[in-house]
Amino acid sequence: MHSSLLPQLDDQIKTLSLSLVPSDVWKEPKAKRQLILRTMSELEKTIDQIKSIIAATCPACTGPMSSAPERTDDHHLRGLKSYRLQRLKPKFNEEVLYQINQIFTHAHALFQKIVLAPEGVKPDKLDEGSDRKSLTRWVDIACKSIKSTIKDSESSELDLAQESWHFEVPKIDTMFEEIIGIAYQPKTDFVTEDGRRISRTPIHEPVVQLARRMIPIIKLVKIFYNKISRRGMNQHRFPPFTKMSSEQISYIAHSMSTFHGDVINCDSSYKELMRVLIPLHYIPLIPATNGPELRTYYITWFETWSDQFYLAIHNFKRLAKRFDSTPF
């Protein structure tokens, strides 16, 4: 579908748009009308084919035939894993089809305006009219959505998982700034814009010490995600499919939100990432052209990171235990 029907749909939408340039329609009304009708018919046929494929391959979200997006038994299904399919279905049915419906609506309105235009109206005036601009805008939007759908179909599973991180990175950055502010709060008073001097509320020393122990934990997590992101290990262009199940792909996708939700108890969450998913499914896929020493480097790097991370967690928990009975 991503290699034939979706590109075909993209071409047909552009053809429809190009056939509805008012000045061209006036020059060749019969030929353009036939082209528009033929393109509309081909468009509808292509849409029906895509909808049929999606209905047959994408798991239902509800009802007796429903399928969870985090299946544990689809590791062998390559491009038909539920994690990928559950993204495809709403992207096409709710985004692309809505945008194409807008194209049809504006195409019909523009065609009617062309046909009913008074004799005195200059053709090039409608070329720059609002109806033509609206049609062009929706064509651009739909084509971008189609290209995005194709990209999703061709992306690696790690690429798909990493899209979920975009929403979590700012949260971790904000958390880091807040922790730094607590750990190293200036002891001096501060002056407001209107010149008033205000004393800072002192922070209890146990809170300050715990905040300082939290800093290396957050730093290590940020380093970890940079390492497996497109700036690190993922720049080696992994193949689109691994032997991971949808549940495991989802685990990678939501691992950052797990950390943000429970920093101190996240060490168990990273055990599967560090000991199973990354070493088993990704390090062996680093292209051989980069040499076996690169794989060895990543194995060593993740082992070292793991030691440092668990040490930082241990140090924090040990300090927190000392303050169990301390009133805050």
In the numeric block, which tokens belong to residue 153?
A: 């179909």
Range of the domain at 264: 163-322
Residues 141 and 174 in one domain: no
Phi and psi at residue 255, to the nearest 5°: -65, -35
In the numeric block, which tokens belong to residue 67?
A: 């399928």
Residues 196 and 49 in one domain: no
Residues 201 and 79 in one domain: no
Last residue of one domain, picked from the residues 102, 127, 154: 154
| Residue 20, SS3 per DSSP | coil
Strand intervals (E) in 165-305? 190-191, 197-198
pLDDT score, position 11: 96
pLDDT score, position 31: 92
Question: Is residue 327 in a domain?
Answer: no
Question: Is residue 328 in a domain?
Answer: no
pTM score of the predicted model:
0.76
Q: Which residues of 182-218 are buried (b: 16+ CB within 10 A; e: fewer)?
A: ebeeeeeeeeeeeeeeeeeeeeeeeeebbbbbbbbbb
Report the greatest alpha carbon distance in the chain: 90
Nearest to 15 by CA among 38, 48, 31: 38
pLDDT score, position 64: 42
DSSP state of 69: T
Question: Is residue 47 in a domain?
Answer: yes
Q: Are 147 and 236 in contact (CB under 8 A)?
A: no
pLDDT score, position 46: 97
Q: Are 103 and 138 in contact (CB under 8 A)?
A: yes
Residues sharing a CB contact under 8 Å with residue 145, sequence separation 6 or more, in sequence order = 91, 95, 96, 99
Total structural domains within the chain: 2
pLDDT score, position 198: 65
pLDDT score, position 187: 65
Last residue of one domain, picked from the residues 154, 175, 205: 154
Residues 261 and 201 in one domain: yes
pLDDT score, position 251: 86
Residues sharing a CB contact under 8 Å with residue 97, sequence separation 6 or more, in sequence order = 47
- In whole angstroms, what is the distance from residue 82 CA to residue 253 CA? 14
Residues 148 and 222 in one domain: no
pLDDT score, position 191: 64
Residues 250 and 181 in one domain: yes
Segment (H or E) for 82: helix 82-90
Last residue of one domain, picked from the residues 94, 125, 154: 154
Q: What does the chain come to in residues?
A: 328
Residues 79 and 149 in one domain: yes
In angstroms, the Cα distances linking 116 to 26, 113, 130 are 11, 5, 16
Phi and psi at residue 59, to the nearest 5°: -65, 145
Residues 58 and 148 in one domain: yes
- In whole angstroms, what is the distance from residue 309 CA to residue 300 CA? 14
pLDDT along the chain (328 residues), means of 10: 88 95 88 93 96 83 50 85 87 94 94 80 75 94 95 89 87 90 75 67 82 93 87 78 89 82 67 77 80 84 90 90 71
Rg (CA), the chain: 28
